């Protein structure tokens, strides 16, 4: 293997990074090449931990290393829209060259989102704008669709070429985390949301569901991307729809829905006093927040049901009791 990072300048870097890469791309945990520290000699674990501390690298525990080496990706159930999109994803995957590494497919999808994000930057640097060219909305919507397709076919490409590995899973997760943030920024740009607290709220809310899904995968061994009725695919199509509905400008989202004054809530008999106009963008934020929170709640319940005693969950902090 070629030396990574600082290995060209300092040969002692190479064994450490080489082992990390070997560990993540293999199905077996090989201890004999744990670490080689030429300055101190030997290959014992204590030397490696010392060298890791000098390099500033995080040292994983034995159980964490075993978990990485034996990790197998297990996907959750498909939604109705996932099933409808599967023929397209299969068609696209079948036309990928066999020489394309699945991580390259993932990276190509991420680059599409990055491009769509930077298309928006000149026109809405502060998320507040009056008009943008039609091609900006079309390019943003296409970048979301492109990313969705590549994210769906990279796993199919990995299975077809026999290149499945824990490294690919970790790389895919990292790219998904980046795309989640960039997609929320693109949505904020299209909607013309310039209020600081709203920008912060939308960004944090979009990441909550991702965080819950990742934590649940760690404990349950399955990555859930939907709550049974809607999920990531539906959210991506909503983002595409938001871009297309905003063709010409964000005037649609500034349409007033409820004017300031008193609002009588039906059924509960409560009068709500509004000091500002509720616009369509406020409704869109509310609907998006509800869907994300519902998904997060379903994932949280799956964590709870993974354990036999609620008191054990509280005492051990989601540490599964021994059988």
Residues 6+ apart with CB under 8 A from 164: 73, 102, 158
Check 19, 22, 101, 173 and give the catalytic one: 173
Scored b (16 or more CB within 10 A) or e, 200-237 reads eebeebbeebbebbeebbeebeebbbbbeebbbbbbbb
Residue 235's contacts (CB-CB under 8 Å, 6 or more residues apart) are 291
For 42-69, give one letter per residue: b (16+ CB within 10 A) or e: eeeeebbeebbeeeeeeeeeeeebeebe
What whole-number distance in Å separates Cα of residue 139 and Cα of residue 241?
13
Pair 81, 225: CB distance under 8 Å: no
Q: Specify whether 173 is catalytic.
A: yes
Give the residue numbers marked as catalytic.
173
């Amino acid at each position: 293997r070629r030396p990574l990072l600082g290995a060209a300048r300092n040969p002692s870097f190479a064994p450490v990074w080489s082992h990390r890469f070997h560990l993540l791309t293999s199905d077996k945990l090989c201890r004999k090449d744990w670490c080689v520290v030429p300055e101190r000699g030997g290959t014992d674990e204590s030397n490696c931990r010392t060298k890791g501390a000098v390099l500033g690298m995080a040292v994983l525990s034995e159980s964490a290393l075993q978990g990485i080496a034996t990790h197998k990706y297990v996907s959750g159930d498909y939604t109705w829209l996932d099933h409808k999109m599967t023929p397209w994803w299969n068609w696209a995957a079948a036309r990928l060259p066999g020489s394309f590494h699945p991580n390259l497919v993932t990276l190509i999808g991420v680059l599409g989102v990055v491009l769509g994000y930077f298309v928006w930057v000149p026109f809405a640097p502060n998320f507040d704008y009056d008009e943008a060219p039609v091609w900006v909305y079309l390019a943003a919507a296409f970048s979301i669709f492109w990313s969705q397709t590549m994210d769906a076919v990279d796993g199919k490409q990995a299975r077809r070429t026999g290149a499945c590995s824990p490294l690919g899973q970790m790389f895919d997760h990292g790219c998904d985390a980046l795309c989640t943030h960039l997609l929320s920024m693109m949505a904020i740009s299209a909607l013309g949301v310039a209020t600081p607290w709203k920008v912060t709220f939308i960004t944090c809310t979009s990441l909550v569901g991702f965080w819950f899904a990742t934590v649940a995968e760690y404990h349950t061994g399955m990555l859930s991307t939907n709550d049974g009725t809607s999920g990531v695919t539906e959210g991506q199509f909503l983002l595409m729809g938001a871009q297309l509905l905003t063709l010409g400008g964000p005037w649609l989202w500034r349409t007033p829905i409820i004017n300031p004054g008193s609002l009588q809530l039906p059924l509960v008999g409560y009068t709500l006093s509004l000091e500002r106009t509720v616009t369509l963008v406020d409704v869109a934020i509310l609907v998006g927040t509800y869907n994300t929170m519902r998904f997060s709640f379903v994932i949280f319940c799956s964590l709870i049901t993974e354990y036999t005693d609620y008191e054990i969950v509280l005492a051990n902090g989601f540490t599964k009791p021994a059988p």
